Amino acid sequence: MYDAAIIGAGVIGCAIARELSRYNVKACVIEREEDVCCGTSKANSAIIHAGFDAKPGSLKAKMNVRGSQMMEELSRELDFPYRRNGSLVVCTKDQDDKKLDALLEQGLKNGVKDLRILERNELIKMEPNLSDDVVKALFAPTGAIVCPFNMTIAFAENACDNGIEFFLNTNVEKIEKDGENFLISTNRNTIETKTIINAAGVYADSINNMINTHKYHITARRGEYNLLDKVAGNHVDKTIFQLPSKMGKGVLVTPTVHGNLLVGPTAEDIDNKEGVNTTLNGLGSLKQTSSLSVKDVPFREVITAFAGLRAHEDGGDFVLGESDECKGLFNALGIESPGLSSAPAIGEFIAKEVSNKLNLELDPSFNGTRKGILNPNTLSIEERNELIKKHPEYGTIICRCESISEGEILDSIHRTLGARSLDAIKRRTRAGMGRCQSGFCSPRTMEILEREIPMSAFDVTKSGHGSKLIFGYNKRV
Amino acid sequence: MKNYDLVIIGGGPAGLAAAISAKESGIDSILILERDKELGGILNQCIHNGFGLHTFNEELTGPEYAARFIDRVLELGIEYKLNTMVMDITKDKKVTAMNREDGLFSIDAKSVILAMGCRERPRGALNIPGYRPAGIYSAGTAQRLVNIEGYMPGRKVVILGSGDIGLIMARRMTLEGAEVKVVAEIMPYSGGLKRNIVQCLDDFNIPLKLSHTVVDIEGKDRVSAVTIAKVDEHMKPIPGTEERYECDTLLLSVGLLPENELSRQSGVELSPIHRGPIVNDSLETSVPGIFACGNVLHVHDLVDFVSKEASQAGKSAALYIKNGEKENSISLPINAVDGVRYTVPEFIRPNDMEESVTVRFRVGGVFKKCAIATYFGDTLVSKKKRPIMAPGEMEQVVIKKSDLLNAGDIKDITIKIEEA
């Protein structure tokens, strides 16, 4: 019997798992994909919002501001990339600048610090590539960028190291109430648990609706992005938002923590909750829309495009906490933007609620620090040579574009919740995430997986399930 | 820290030919740094024939062609390091590299030759919409899997792009038992060599659809279908022309990009058009003593021309090492206009050039019954008739030192396409 079963190993499920692992608890995380961080958490803007965007008093506002405050310390504790680069909401000459004042006001009510409005002359010194039509902007120094993969993986690893079990490749098929408890049937096992924590992203409504008389409805809102080569990474330094207009919410242009440039997202409600495909129209619109705020974005440097789905609940706010109608079910539902920013706060909030319900005690052996995969670029030449002498794998570069060594790839495979696919290695190490998009390194990474797991070359996948990379030997297909 | 007269970055066809030529020009202290586990570069996976027709009057396979140069490098006792990744090159020619045995190490060089080759453009560079399942390979990655590892990356294949590697892989996959359904090319002409279209597509009844591109990729885990559509003159897909192909693999052969990240770090000025370093007739970049050759300089159609160009770079580097930088050299720019996209080199020094210089370039479209015209200043000096020119094939013009010196006080050279 589990005390708690968390459904979904995205950033929310993993943040909750990590917070829950502070207690003496028997808990598990159930994830249908082969790895953590495979849904919305891997395909978003990778930014930590300052917190001026949400309506005062909403859960979104509360969680966002708290999450944003927690993030910097957390990034040190759990060793994931984070940079407080600040953000600007820009207003162009044909837009109503009172909207900026309203945003400022809202931000102050939400408790966002250091917000101020800047005029063009000051702005242009800060961001020379702002569009010529930009006249004013709301500056939020506390806005930040983060690596959403490593943040989620860090939560998961730390939770796992502190005793939370992870069931990957495990799909929830049915949930039944068994007295006070729940029975979760999956494709692999049946899990008996006192509480359920629903962090199932775009499917959180389906999970809730299996057992709860209070029904929810989530719409998948697709957002498409372009990621540009690192040569374009300095085009802007801050995250540049657009002031919403009659044309829509606009798109952002932001550097990433790894030095690329990211442009997006579009916003389109779709019926298909698996619809993470990019479209001609969506990608086609990014150039035009982004030019309203930032000029000369070098779109010829695009290295990849992707789409993510935001889980938009009809009520428009996060749904957090124990359901009144279904005791023991804790929802973390409707987690769209600012979900990534709010994740640590949501984790803290839900874990607290669950621990109160179950009268959990703090676990004195909890260790809240996690060491990420060593990045040899942070070492001095002497330290690096010392490392290569001890572990020669760190002297062999596998991914040329991102300079990722075999040592880092081995670490990603052999650590807690280690990588089992090319994409899992990519999210942990960045091997294959560079300008050639794994053209050179994928055959070599496949070879490493084959040797280290060990597994047959024919079973190596891009991202688990049926995503096999090769079909057999030559002439035998 | 070790010192070498010449460090060559890359042990592919360009690096090998450059090393041989520098050695034969009297430089003994040479080091080739190669990131792969053997010399020869991409030729090792090009097991088809057709290499060396110009150089050896023979049809060799890629590995055979490479072996002739590797043998010569060994014979001459030129030093090289394998599995060694160059991490940085500075303006004053300090090269930092890394491997398992030596760790991170630095070399001070008198001269550096950039010979890193090129890479394939990925899907993202074309913004091809659709899902991102397994089964989307650049043609070169598929070529490595089939020819080096012996693995089949797919059974039913659609190819986007008619660059030479895509054409070669259409035939290769067919010979290994896969079904290649179609090759789509967004341009109204192929980006590959005519002979490859005949030998790799026509001979196997594989359709080539010009002015077509991929507008959708289906499949959550593995590719399950690809939809292509015809494009208009602005390369925008025309609604209603979609054709859907069930397949498990999409190969991309949509262009090659010179790999100039190291060049950029060293401060070398790059051309926005061919995306390689801007060079003069000695193939010297904007940083004195740093030379470039092969596909890192501009993407070639035939390896024979790479070898030739690289020999020139080796010779020039040897001269530089012996004599140092030529001071106050007059340098004439070459204007590439009217159908000529770029030229390599971009500058010629009439007083310091060799007896003749081969200027290589590509045209920006298909030209029939036209001529390549060369002007010294405003004076037409040569007109070379060509029945057909296409972007897939490199063109060249030879400029003689004596002609230039006799041309008097000119400010520039112009190469353009004119009516014959």
Check if B178 contacts A (Cβ < 8 Å). Answer: yes
pLDDT of residue A429: 98
**What is the chain B residue with the closest CA to A287?**
B127
* 3-state DSSP assignment of residue A60: helix
pTM for the whole structure: 0.96
Who among B103, B176, B217 is closest to A385 (CB)? B103
* Residue B319 CA from chain centroid, whole number: 25
* Architecture of the domain defined by B122-254: 3-Layer(bba) Sandwich (3.50)
pLDDT of residue B327: 80
Name the β-bridge partners of A270. Answer: A220
Long-range Cβ pairs for the range B71-78 (8 Å, 24+):
B72/B16, B72/B20, B73/B16, B73/B19, B73/B20, B73/B32, B73/B39, B76/B19, B76/B20, B76/B23, B76/B24, B78/B19, B78/B20, B78/B23, B78/B30, B78/B32
**Which residue, B413, B356, B331, B418, is CA-closest to B379?**
B413
pLDDT of residue B1: 65
Name the β-bridge partners of A176. Answer: A183
Question: CA end-to-end span of chain B, whole Å?
Answer: 58
Amino acid identity for residue B148 in this structure:
I
For every residue of B102-154, DSSP letters joined together read TEEEEEEEEEEEE---EEEPPGGGGT--B---B-EEEHHHHHHIIIII-EE--
CA distance A230 to A242: 23
Instruction: Tell me the pLDDT tens digit for each residue of A368-401.
Output: 999 999 999 999 999 999 999 999 999 999 999 9
Who among A227, A277, A477 is closest to B155 (CB)? A477
> Can the peptide bond before residue B239 be classed as cis, meaning omega within 30 degrees of 0?
no
CA distance B260 to B263: 5
Tokens of residue A151, six digits: 């943040």
Who among A279, A392, A400 is closest to B129 (CB)? A279
Nearest chain B Cα distance for residue A138, angstroms: 32
Q: What is the CA radius of gyration of chain A?
A: 22
- List the domains of chain A with CATH numbers: 2-41+148-217+315-358 (3.50.50.60), 87-141+219-313 (3.30.9.10), 376-459 (1.10.10.1100)
Contact call for B133 and A467, based on CB within 8 A: yes
Contacts of B127 (CB under 8 A, 6+ apart): A226, A278, A283, A284, A302, A305
Who among B104, B137, B221 is closest to A385 (CB)? B104
Contact call for B144 and A436, based on CB within 8 A: no
- What is the phi/psi pair of residue A284, to 5°? -65, -25
What value does the mean pLDDT take over residues B114-120?
A: 97
**What is the chain A residue with the closest CA to B138?**
A439
Contact call for B150 and A473, based on CB within 8 A: yes
| Confidence grade of residue A284 (pLDDT, cut at 50, 70, 90) | very high
- What is the phi/psi pair of residue A91, to 5°? -120, 125
Q: Are A265 and A308 in contact (CB under 8 A)?
A: yes
Check if B238 contacts A (Cβ < 8 Å). Answer: no
**Which residue, A370, A445, A383, is CA-closest to A410?**
A445
**What is the chain B residue with the closest CA to A275?**
B131
Instruction: Tell me the pLDDT tens digit for each residue of A181-224.
Output: 999 999 999 999 999 999 999 999 999 999 999 999 999 999 99
Annotate B352-392 with three-state secondary structure: CCCCEEEEEEEECCCEEEEEEEEEECCEEEEEEEEEEECCC
Q: Which residues of B308-347 are buried (b: 16+ CB within 10 A; e: fewer)?
A: bbbbbbbbbbbbbbeeeebeeeebbbbebeebbebbbbbb
Contact call for A393 and B125, based on CB within 8 A: no
What value does the mean pLDDT take over residues A321-331?
A: 98
| In chain B, residues 273-332 whose CB comes closer than 8 Å to chain A | none
A316: pLDDT strictly greater than 80: yes
Report percent pLDDT > 90 for chain A. 98
Q: Which residues of A touch B218 (CB under 8 A)?
A: 277
Contacts of A307 (CB under 8 A, 6+ apart): A43, A222, A223, A224, A225, A265, A275, A276, A277, A278, A279, A282
> Distance of CA B191 to CAs B211, B331, B363, Å?
12, 33, 11
- Residue-averaged pLDDT of chain B: 96
Q: Find the angle CA(B84)-CA(B90)-CA(B96) to the nearest 5 degrees.
A: 25
- What is the phi/psi pair of residue A219, to 5°? -105, 135
Q: Are A230 and A78 in contact (CB under 8 A)?
A: no
pLDDT of residue A321: 98
The residue of B220, B241, B253 whose CB has the most chain A CBs within 10 angstroms, and thus the best one to mutate to test that interface, is B220
Contact call for A443 and B85, based on CB within 8 A: no
What value does the mean pLDDT take over residues B149-169?
A: 96
Per domain, the residue ranges of chain B are 1-119+256-325, 122-254, 330-420
CA distance B404 to B407: 5
Is it true that domain B1-119+256-325 has CATH number 3.40.800.20?
Answer: no
A151: pLDDT strictly greater than 80: yes
* 3-state DSSP assignment of residue A262: strand
Instruction: Tell me the pLDDT tens digit for each residue of A460-473.
Output: 999 999 999 999 99
Check if B368 contacts A (Cβ < 8 Å). Answer: no
Nearest chain A Cα distance for residue B85, angstroms: 7
The residue of B9, B47, B127, B275 whose CB has the most chain A CBs within 10 angstroms, and thus the best one to mutate to test that interface, is B127
A391 is catalytic: no
Instruction: Tell me the pLDDT tens digit for each residue of A9-54.
Output: 999 999 999 999 999 999 999 999 999 999 999 999 999 999 999 9
Contact call for A476 and B120, based on CB within 8 A: no
Who among B103, B120, B132 is closest to A306 (CB)? B132
Q: A172-178 and B332-337 as β-strands: parallel, antiparallel, unpaired? A: unpaired
Contact call for B215 and A306, based on CB within 8 A: no
Contact call for A274 and B220, based on CB within 8 A: yes
Range scoring the smallest mean pLDDT among A3-7, B23-27, B404-408: B404-408
A252: pLDDT strictly greater than 90: yes
Q: Which residues of B touch A443 (CB under 8 A)?
A: 141, 144-145, 148-149
Nearest chain B Cα distance for residue A35, angstroms: 14
pLDDT of residue A289: 96
Contact call for B222 and A393, based on CB within 8 A: no
For every residue of A186-242, DSSP letters joined together read ESS-EEEEEEEEE--GGGHHHHHHHH-SS---EEEEEEEEEEE-GGGTTS-SSEEEE
Identify the H or E element spanning B178.
none
Q: What length does chain A have? A: 477
- Residue-averaged pLDDT of chain A: 97
* Fold agreement between B1-119+256-325 and B122-254: yes
Nearest chain A Cα distance for residue B176, angstroms: 5
CA distance B141 to B121: 12
**Which residue, A54, A465, A71, is CA-closest to A257?**
A71
pLDDT of residue A228: 97
Report percent pLDDT > 90 for chain B. 94
pLDDT of residue A155: 98
Who among A283, A392, A466 is closest to B221 (CB)? A466
Nearest chain B Cα distance for residue A231, angstroms: 9
CA distance B291 to B317: 7
